[in-house]
Structure formats: structure tokens, C-alpha cells
Amino acid sequence: MRKKYLRWIIFLSTLILLGVITFLVGLTTGELSISIFDIPGIFRDKEGIEYVVLNQIRLPRIVLGIAVGGGLSLSGAILQGIYRNPLVEPYTLGISGGAAMGVALAIVFALPAVFGAFILPAAGFAGALLTIFLVYFLGIRHGNININNMLLIGVMVSFVASAAMMFLMAVTTSENLHSIVFWMMGSLDEPNRLLIRITLIIAATGLVTSAFFSGTLNALRLGESNAKHLGINTGASIRILFVIASLMAGVCVAAAGVIGFVGLVIPHLIRLIAGSDYRILLPGSFLGGGIFLIICDTIARTIISPNELPIGVITGMAGGIMFIVILSRSKSNFKMS
């Protein structure tokens, strides 16, 4: 038992160290290269182009990357535990489709010109929230949650939202089409500090809250009926965990757009390295997701500098390759236990 806890401490410490290294690399790397030793002086003097680049561009992106990457990965780990399905991720339930639909409607009806740019993440969150309620309430039968129905409904809602998106993109102007496509490809270039703080607070709150349900998620690995025999109120627990995971995913999508594969690949990678115990899987997924997204964002803004690739392109390519490698090397065939 002590050896297991020691391995967990070493694993989390390694992730934290990797996070610090990734943070510093992201802060110093870009079209304007900055020495790590100059950073304290730059923030102390608060003058020059270096301070503007660090304080206004790179630091907000890194903080948002930690929040969004950690939130999406944690959400994926929770949802995989609820549904006992290794292929479930936040976007499987139609959350991204609902958010994209909300943003597309806001762009088509020119709401940013009336309410300002903040209306786009607000519309995205409203669309995600509507999808969450649809999946939740349609998945309830006779007062009980049917997780299989919820999963199927989420997939169908995602298909319907995608079809509606294609319709809007087909009938709207080329300018609106460009805005919709750009948002759907994802970006951490968010100038609104308030939105970044909200995303970070919700992601951190989700991590702390879900940690109290790590024992419940471990019990659900045995099956819902077995978890009930252990004295766990599975219905209430699944409801709470579903709301936590869905709200985190909705806020992350609203803040950064559609960024795929983070909630699918990172929990699998952490599970492969550290095991399936949710006491280590939840914090490991959060830290791993933040690290992964910061790395992808650094690559996206430097690989074709001075131009920038959408971060969704990098996460899609890197995440897809990682998933194939993990799948080919896994001896457990992605069983949840």
C-alpha cells in the first residue's frame, strides 16, 4: 500500500515538474524569443515589448490552456467512469455540437455587433447548457437515469447539431462562414481576462469537487448494481458527476472553441501509466490535459511563425496518433477496470 502511494506521489510530482517546464517553454518560445533569466526583470520593470508579449499574449494563453486542457481531460475521465465506456468523451454527448450551434447562431444573427465579442462564449455556453439538459432529461426514465440512453441521445444530438451547423454554413455569408469555421477549429487567443478567470475557477472547482467522488467512481467500475450493494447512492452520484463534467466541458468549449481528443486521449494515457484508481486518475488527467494543451498551443503558434495554426489541428493530429499508439500497445484492450 505504501509503495502504491509513493508511486502516486512520484507520478504527480513528475507531472507538476513537467507542467512547470512546459509553462516556462511556452512563456519564452515564440516569434519573439525571450530568455528565461530575463522574465523576472521584465515583469518587474513592466516596460517594453517583451512585457506586452508576456503579460498580454503568452501568459493568458498558458493559463487558459491549463484550465481548458485540464477541464476537458478531467471531464473525459469522469464521463468514462460514469458510462464505463473508454470511448466516451465530452464531445460524444453533443456538448461541442450544442456550443458550436450557439456560436453559429450568434454569428449569423450578428449579435457580436450589438452585444460585443463576449456574446460568442456566452452563446457557446448557452448552447452547451441546452444540450446538457436535453441529454439529461431525455435520458431519465421513471425517475431513474439510463446511462445507455443518455449516451445514445448525446450522439444523436451531436449529429443533429452538426446537420444544423452545415445548414447555417451553407446559407450564411462568406464572412460569417469564416468566423464560424475559425471558432470551430479552436484557439487559446482569448483577450478577455474575466472569461479566463471564470474558466480556471470552474475547472479547479470541478477538480476539487470530483475528488470527493473518486471512491464512487472506483465502485462504478464494478458495475452500477455492485456499487449499490456497497451502499452507494448511484443515481444521485451519477447525476452530480454528470453535471460537473458537462459544465466543465461546456465552459471550456465556450472559452476556447472545439478542441478535440484531449478528453479522450489524456485519461487513457494516465490510466495506462498510473492505473485506473480514480484517486490518481482525476488529478493526473487534469495535470496531463493542461500540459498537453500548452504543448499543442506552443507548437500551433510557432510551427509556421509568424502565422498561427488553429490549436484544434494540432490536438487532432497529435491526439489521433497518440490514441493509435496507446491502443496498439495496450495489453488491457482499454477495459475500464
Distance (Å, whole) CA 99 – CA 128: 4
- Alpha-carbon torsion (186, 190, 194, 199), positive or negative: positive
pLDDT for 127 equals 87
Tell me the pLDDT band of 181, cut-offs 50, 70 and 90. Answer: confident
- Cα–Cα distances (Å) from 304 to 299, 300, 310, in that order, read 9, 8, 11
SS3 state at 122 = helix
Residue-wise pLDDT tens digits, 146-172: 777 888 888 888 888 888 888 888 888
Asked if 15 and 288 count as a contact pair (C-beta separation under 8 A), the reply is: yes
* Cell 449579435, located at residue: 111
- Cα–Cα distances (Å) from 305 to 33, 189, 248, 299, in that order, read 12, 15, 32, 10
Asked if 60 and 297 count as a contact pair (C-beta separation under 8 A), the reply is: no
Q: Give the mean model confidence (pLDDT) for residues 64-78.
A: 94
C-alpha cell at 159: 449529429
Q: What is the mean pLDDT of the chain?
A: 86
Q: Residue 335: which residues within 8 A CB-CB, separation 6 or more?
A: 86
CA 217 to chain centre: 19
Tell me the pLDDT band of 142, cut-offs 50, 70 and 90. Answer: low
Query: Between 328 and 131, whose confidence is greater?
Result: 131
* Statement: residue 174 has pLDDT above 80: yes
Name the nearest CA neighbour of 129 among 121, 139, 118.
Answer: 121
Percent of the chain clearing pLDDT 90 (strictly above): 31
Query: Between 320 and 296, whose confidence is greater?
Result: 296
SS3 state at 140 = strand
Fold of 2-290+305-329: ABC transporter involved in vitamin B12 uptake, BtuC (1.10.3470)
Q: Give the mean model confidence (pLDDT) for residues 231-260.
A: 87
Query: Between 306 and 13, whose confidence is greater?
Result: 13
* Statement: residue 204 has pLDDT above 80: yes
Residue-wise pLDDT tens digits, 35-66: 888 888 888 888 889 888 898 889 999 999 99
* Statement: residue 291 has pLDDT above 60: yes
**pTM of the shown model:** 0.90
C-alpha cell at 277: 484508481
